Every structure is written in structure tokens, then in C-alpha cells.
Amino acid sequence: MSRRRRPPRVPGTAARSEPHKRRLIGPHEVLERIQEAGGLPDEIVDSPGDSGPSAATESADEQMRALGRRVLDSLGPERVIRGSIGDDAAHRMAWIISVTTSMRESVPRERRCRHIRAADPKVTEIRTHAALSAGIWQCVECFRQTGAAALKLNPWPNECDLCGAHGEKFNEFSANIPGCLVTGNICARCASFIGTEATA
């Protein structure tokens, strides 16, 4: 008698009494700290890296950016407000620090898929999706197996996924960092950082 294969369990999705507390910092707060410190050092602004991203990182990044564009296009223009971080290095750094801090805090290592854990520290070389509200970070292959049901979990329904502000209404956001499509809920203040007005 053949048995149906069950999709892999999303790490850490067993029932828990209380979600873990996240230590988040919003992009406005990060930018304030950068400015208080006198801005970014010139060497960070002038030389972003010695060798640049690997070919695998560039490939994964382009594929995930294309996926992000397809998702947004499928929603239709009436449901999508496009924002921009702009060209200011400090502004961009503040956004990246806020998003990656939320990734670390929302998805502890044990809740990341095994492929991401195995790829560390070269995670940017594989295609991944981080759903901050659901507290999961998976490679595309694992996400295909677990399906969208994993995204329905939201341990922090009343928190902005970037700054942690409490509220009842949030807007969904989508952002790309190398190799990864990041999605989550965003408050009006954090939405204003990327030049958008919240619609909730």
C-alpha cells in the first residue's frame, strides 16, 4: 500500500503558547543613529566591496526581483503603491539594516529551511523568500513544497514587522535584498520612509 508523502514541516511551526519577542528597529530610527554618528564613513560609501557579488548571487537576485515584479503585476495597479528608497547611501543603509534586523529577529536560525542553514554564510547565492509576519524564511524549492498555507501563521498580528509599533491596521510590503524576496506588514511611519502613504 502506497503512502502519500507529506510536505516538509516548516521548522518551528509547532504550537507555542507565546511568540518570541522581537527586538526590532525601524528605518527612521536607524537613519537617526547614522546621522547622530556623523553619517556613513567615506570608505563605506565609496567602496561597497572588493570583489562585488558572486555570479550565483547576481543570478539569484535577478530571479527573485523578477518574481517580485510578477507578484506585484498580478495584484494590479489599484492594489500596489510603489515606493523608492532613493540614492542617498545613509537612507539605503538604514532601510537594509531595518529589514535584515527584522529577518534575524522574526526568523531565528532554527526556523529557517535546511537549505538556508546549509548555505550560510552564502545565503545570497540561493533564491529565498522571507515572510516576516509568518516568521519563516525558506528557499524557493521548500516554499513550493510547503505552499502558501505556511504564510497564514502570524505570531505578531498587531506589530509592524520593521519597527514593532503596535496597531490594528498595516499595509503589506515587498522588498528585495540580494537573492531574497522579503514580505511583511508595515506601519504608516515605516511606509513613509520609502515615499509611500499607507492605505490601511
Q: What is the pLDDT of residue 78?
A: 59
Three cell numbers written together for 38: 556623523
Three cell numbers written together for 56: 550565483
Q: Does residue 98 contact residue 175 with C-beta atoms inside 8 Å?
A: no
Residue range 169-184, pLDDT digits in tens: 898 888 888 899 999 9
Q: What is the pLDDT of residue 132?
A: 95
- The answer to whether residue 3 scores a pLDDT higher than 70 is no
Q: How much is the average pLDDT of 46-68?
A: 78
Give a three-class secondary structure readout of the chain.
Answer: CCCCCCCCCCCCCCCCCCCCCCCCCCHHHHHHHHHHCCCCCHHHHHCCCCCCCCHHHHHHHHHHHHHHHHHHHHHCHHHCCCCCCCCCHHHHHHHHHHHHHHHHHHCCHHHECHHHHHHCCCHHHCCEEEECCCCEEEEHHHHHHHCHHHHHCCCCCCECCCCCCECCCCEEEEEEECCEEEEEEECHHHHHHCCCCCCC
Over pLDDT 90: what percentage of the chain? 45
- The answer to whether residue 1 scores a pLDDT higher than 50 is no
d(CA 14, CA 167): 26
Residue range 94-121, pLDDT digits in tens: 999 999 999 999 999 988 999 999 998 8
Residue 159: what are its φ and ψ, rounded to 5°?
Answer: -125, 140
Highest mean pLDDT among 2-11, 12-21, 69-78: 69-78
The residue written with cell numbers 535584515 in the block is 100
